[in-house]
Structure 1
Amino acid sequence: MSKTPVNHPIFARFYARISQMMEHHGLAELRQGLLADLSGEVIEVGAGNGLTFAHYPPTVARVLAVEPEPRLRRLAQAAADEAPVPVEVVGGLADRLPGKGQTFDAAVVSLVLCSLPDPAAALREMYRVLKPGGQLRFLEHVRADSPGLARVQDLLDATIWPRLAGGCHTGRDSAALIERAGFTMEHLERFLLPKVRTPVSFFILGVASRP
C-alpha cells in the first residue's frame, strides 16, 4: 500500500481552473448521470475540488469524500458546505480507505483511476468497503480504441504526462481493472469528450457491483 503523501500544488491550481471549464462543456451532465438514482451511504474516492457534490440526489443519506491533495481538499470542503446532501471531506489514500468493511451502499470515482499509483489496490479497497450488492459508479478517461493513439498514450505515459498532470496516465484500461478487482459490470458506455479523437478524449461511464 502507498504511504507517500499526495501533494501536487501546481497541478491542483491548474486542475481547479480547467475542471470548471470542463463542467460547462458536458462534464456536469455526465456527473449528473453518474450519480442518478443513488441512495444510502456513499464513499467518493478522489473527490478533487468537489464538483461532483452538487449532483448527488436527495436519496443519498451521506457522502464520505476522500481527497489526499491538501489544496483540492480545501476546495472540496467549500463545495461540501453548499452540497444538497451531507458531505464529510477527509484526507486519505485510495489504497487505504477509512471505514470498516461492507459499510457503504455505493462508491464513486470520477477522473480518478487514471492518476492512482496502484489502481488495482484502490479498487480492492473499494470492494472491501462496499456492502454485498453495492455499486461502483465510475467516470474515467481510458485507453484509446485505435492502435495509433494507444501508442501515443503509451509514449506520453512513459515520459512527461504523469509529471504534468498529477500522476495521470492517459492509456489505462480502467474497465478491465474494475472487472479484475472482482466487480460485475452492469452498464458501460464509451464515448469521446470532446467529440474529437485525441489521447485524452476516450471516456467510459458505468456501473459495476460487488457480487
Structure 2
Amino acid sequence: MRGAVYYPPCGAAARLLAPVDPWLGRRTTLGAAFVVLSAVKPTLRAEPGEAAPSLRHETPSPESPRPNSLNFYERWMLPPLLDRVMRQSQLEKYRREVIAPARGRVLEIGVGSGLNFPFYGAQVEMVVGVDPSPRLLALAQRRAADAGVKAELVEGTASALPLADRSIDTIVMTWTLCSIPDPLLALREMRRVLKPDGRLLFIEHGLCPEKGVEFWQHRLTPAWRHVSGGCQLDRKMDDLIRAAGFELTELRHPYAEGPRIFTYMYEG
C-alpha cells in the first residue's frame, strides 16, 4: 500500500474498537477501514485468457511474495481507492519536503498515480517511475504531462529494476516500502542502480516504538495486508534501509494526523 489508508469512523466498528482507541489516535477509524475495504473486496475472477483462481484461501507468510497476476479487486478497485486516499492534503507537506532535494535522473519507486510530479523542480532532468499497476500508471502519465515533467513510466516491481548499474542520481520513495513483498531485495536493487554520490529520499510509515501501538500493528497486519494492497504496518524501515547498505545521514520520525498505528513516519 502506498500510504496510510484510513476512512471516517463508522458506528459499529468504532464501538468495537473503543477499548483500544487510546493507541489508535483521537478518533477510531481503523474499524471503518476494515468494514469498507472488506465489503467491496469481491470474489476472485479470472480475466479473459487467464486461469480461474482457486477459491480456497491460504494465508501466506508475511514476507512471502504476492501472486504476479492481480485479482479483480487489486486490478480495478484498489487503484482508485489508493489514488483517492493518497490525495489527502496533509500529505503534501511531506511530499514537498522529501522531493525538494531530488536532482538529475530520478527513479521513483511506487510512482502510483503520479501525485509527486507537481513537486519535482527544474533540477530534475527526468523521472523514471516504476509501479505494478497499469491503471495507476495511466493516471501518472496524465499527471506528468500536466506538471510538465519528463517521465518514463514502467510497469514492474522494485525487485527487478530494468536499469543499468549506477545510472540514477536520486531515488524517491513515498509510502511504498510497506507493500513491497521483499523489501530488502528491492532496496538492494535500488542501491545497485544508484550512483555512488546519489541519494535515497523517502517518507514511509512503519513500526512505532510505543509498545501499545506496536502491539496492535503486529496484531492487525496479517488481516490488513490482504485488503490494502499488501501494506504491512509493522516494518522497521530504518533497519531495512541500513541492512541494504545505505547510510542514513538524516532520519526524522514525525506523526501524521490520524490513528497512530498508521501514522508513525520514517523520513530521511
User: TM-score, length-normalised on structure 1?
Assistant: 0.90
The equivalent of 2:22 in structure 1 is none
Letter in 2 for 1:133: D
1:205 aligns with 2:264: no
Q: Is the 8 A contact 1:58 1:84 kept in 2?
A: no
2:229 is the alignment partner of 1:162: no
Counterpart CA distance in 2 for 1:144 and 1:3 is 25
In the TM superposition, residue 71 of structure 1 has moved relative to its aligned partner by 1.4
- State the distance in 2 between where 1:41 and 1:189 align: 25
Distance 1:6 1:135 in 2: 32
Asked whether the 8 Å contact 1:5–1:68 carries over to 2, the reply is no
Is 2:179 the counterpart of 1:115? yes
Whether 2:176 is the aligned partner of 1:176: answer: no
Based on CA coordinates, which of the two structures has the bigger radius of gyration? 2
Moved more, 2-11 or 69-78: 2-11
For residue 248 of structure 2, give the secondary structure of its aligned residue in structure 1. strand
In 2, Cα distance between equivalents of 1:54 and 1:6 = 31
Q: CA deviation at 1:3?
A: 8.8
Deviates more, 1:5-14 or 1:140-149: 5-14
The amino acid of 1:11's aligned partner reads L
Displacement of 1:84 in angstroms is: 3.3
The answer to whether the 8 A contact 2:66-2:181 is kept is: no
1:45 alignment partner, one of 86, 109, 121: 109
Tell me the equivalent position of 1:134.
198
Q: Flag the 1:3–1:93 CA change in 2: closer, same or farther, 3 A.
A: farther
Query: Where does residue 209 of structure 1 map in the other structure?
Result: none
Looking at structure 2, the residues matched to 186 and 6 of structure 1 have their Cα atoms a distance apart, in angstroms, of: 38
Partner AA of 2:224 in structure 1:
W
Structure 2 CA distance for aligned equivalents of residues 84 and 77 of structure 1: 11
CA-CA distance at 1:44 after TM superposition: 0.5
Q: Is the 8 A contact 1:80 1:89 kept in 2?
A: no
Q: What is the aligned-residue identity percentage? A: 35
- The 5-angstrom pairing of residues 61-76 of structure 1 reads 61-76=125-140
SS at match of 2:208: coil
In structure 2, the gaps of 5 or more residues are: 1-63
Q: Give, as a single letter, the amino acid of the residue that structure 2 aligns with 1:48.
A: G
Task: Provide structure 1 residue ranges, at least 5 long, that are not aligned to the other structure.
Answer: 207-211
| 1:137–1:92 CA distance, 2 compared to 1 (3 A) | same
Two-structure CA RMSD over aligned residues (Å): 1.6
Alignment partner of 1:92 is 2:156 = yes
Count of residue pairs the alignment pairs up: 201
Query: What is the TM-score of this pair, normalised by structure 2?
Result: 0.72
CA–CA distance in structure 2, aligned partners of residues 144 and 108 of structure 1? 22
Q: Give the aligned partner of residue 82 of structure 2.
A: 15
Q: Distance in 1 between matches of 2:180 and 2:164?
A: 22
Higher-strand-fraction structure: 1
Moved over 6 A (4+): none
**Distance (Å, rounded) in 1 between the aligned partners of 2:86 and 2:108:** 17
CA distance in 1, matches of 2:244, 2:119: 27
